[in-house]
Each structure stands twice: as C-alpha cells, then as structure tokens.
C-alpha cells in the first residue's frame, strides 16, 4: 500500500462502490479503496462537520462488513440527534501520517454549529 495509491481509483468509482446514501447535504458513501490499510471504507460529508468536507469514519476488511457499516452510518447520520463529533479512522496512509504529527482527526459538531449558526436538530 503506497501513500498515493488512491490515484489509481480515479475513474473507477462505479466498480468500487458498495453503497451510497444522499439526503439533502448529507452523503454516506462506502466503497473499495486502494490506499487504505483495510480495503473498504465509509466516508461521511455533512455541513455540520469538518466544514462539509469528507470524513472517513470506518474501515472494513470485507464487503459484507462494509455494507453493515454503511447501514449503521446511514442510521447514525439520519437519526434525530446527530453525533457530537465524528472521528476520521485514519485508514489511508496519508491520514495516519497526519494523525501522527498531530493533525486534527476529531470533528466536533458543536464547533460547526457555532461557526455556521445552525440550530440544534437541523
């Protein structure tokens, strides 16, 4: 696994996709990756976390685990009460390196709430 192996994924999303959920500004996407310590991962984008940028929330060894994990994250992110924070699972080599040098891996919903002035439950 090389740090830049993700470049091999360009143009192959439909072949790698396990499942994808979209509702408003929420996307939960689960697919096979080439740059992870585990071959499958779920990423979430939501305006209340990380300025709406992707957060890889969980990684998996098998396609079956990936589908179960995807379903879990869809339930979690569509629940009436959103999680207080999301943590990047550091599946990719570049993420693990960023974490090792003190990079931010926890993304607090409350900070985004204050920044964007969202009200609770939106």
Has residue 117 got a pLDDT over 50? no
pLDDT tens, position by position, 61-110: 999 999 999 999 999 999 999 999 999 998 887 777 777 787 778 889 86
How far is 43 from 53, CA to CA, in rounded Å? 10
Q: How far is Cα 77 from Cα 5, in angstroms, rounded to an integer?
A: 29
Q: What is the pLDDT of residue 10?
A: 59
Whole-model pTM over 0.75: yes
3-state SS of the chain: helix, strand, coil percent to 5?
35, 30, 35
Name the residue ranges covered by the structural domains of the chain: 5-114
The beta strands (E) that lie in the chain are given as 17-23, 26-32, 40-45, 55-60, 85-87, 106-108
């Amino acid at each position: 696994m090389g740090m830049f192996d993700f470049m091999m994924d360009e143009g192959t999303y439909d072949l790698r996709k396990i499942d994808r959920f979209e509702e408003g500004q929420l996307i939960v996407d689960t697919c096979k990756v080439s740059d992870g310590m585990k071959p499958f991962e779920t990423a979430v984008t939501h305006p209340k976390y990380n300025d709406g940028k992707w957060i890889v929330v969980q990684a998996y060894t098998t396609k079956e685990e990936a589908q179960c994990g995807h379903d879990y994250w869809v339930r979690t992110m569509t629940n009436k009460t959103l999680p207080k924070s999301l943590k990047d699972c550091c599946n990719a080599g570049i993420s693990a390196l960023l974490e090792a040098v003190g990079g931010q891996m926890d993304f607090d919903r409350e900070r985004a709430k204050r920044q964007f002035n969202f009200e609770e439950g939106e």
